[in-house]
Structure formats: structure tokens, C-alpha cells
Amino acid sequence: MTSQPNTNPKSHKPSWVKVCALSDITPKTGVCALVNGKQVAIFRPRFDEQLFAINNMDPFAQSNVLSRGLICEHDGELWVASPLKKQRFNLETGRCLEDETMSVEAYEIRVKGNEIEVKA
């Protein structure tokens, strides 16, 4: 008899995962990383170490594309506009600006040394 790891997502406890070096992400862009089986969009909107991480799935287009969206600012908050249908998602909370009933999951992110880590 063999034992398989539990792959039930509801039983998964989020953990910190090293993704890449901070220098690997060009300022004012986003990238996608696979973190514990989830596609996570990571954004570096400025030249400093401020980072954001949200689910890469655009809930309107049902496509993993948010990491390729345009970073924008609205009322002092940072957002990403989906490259497909243009809805904007808050980079800190994941909420949709155009439809308050929709959102994407936001994840904790940090820089430890020079490495970016995401908790998902």
C-alpha cells in the first residue's frame, strides 16, 4: 500500500514559498509564479521593494492573465487592469473596482534578504 500526499486544497495550510530574487522582477511590471499549485500574479509597481501578490485568474475572462495586466493608480490605490476585459483589481485586497461582487484572492508577500516569498 502506498501513501499519497493530501492534495485537497481545503486542507492546505498556507506557507511561505521562495519565488525569485527581487532583481528578477522589472519595476512597473508583473510576473506569474506557481506557488503551492496556485498561479500567483506578483507585481512590483515602483522601483522600491513594494510588492503585491494576487491570484492570476481573471474571473470575468476565466483566464490566467492578470500578471500581464496594466498597473494603474485610482484614488490613491494601486490596481491592475485585466489585459482581456479591462476590469481593475486592487493590488492589496483583490477587490474589483467595476463590480464589487467580484474579487480575486490576495496573498501575503515579503522580501527576505533579496528573495521574494509568497504565502499561499
Q: Which residues of 101-118 are buried (b: 16+ CB within 10 A; e: fewer)?
A: eebbebbebeeeeeebbb
Note the pLDDT tens digit of each residue in 63-113. 999 999 999 998 999 999 999 999 999 999 999 999 999 999 999 999 999
Domain 15-119 adopts which CATH fold? Answer: Rieske Iron-sulfur Protein (2.102.10)
- Please report, for the chain, the start and end positions of each structural domain, with discontinuous segments joined by +: 15-119
Q: Which residues of 3-33 are buried (b: 16+ CB within 10 A; e: fewer)?
A: eeeeeeeeeeeeeebebeebeebeeeebbeb
Residue 9 grid cell: 486544497
Please give the Cα distance from 6 to 14 (Å, whole number). Answer: 14
Note the pLDDT tens digit of each residue in 10-54. 567 889 999 999 999 999 999 999 999 999 999 999 999 999 999
Is residue 66 within 8 Å of 57, Cβ to Cβ? yes
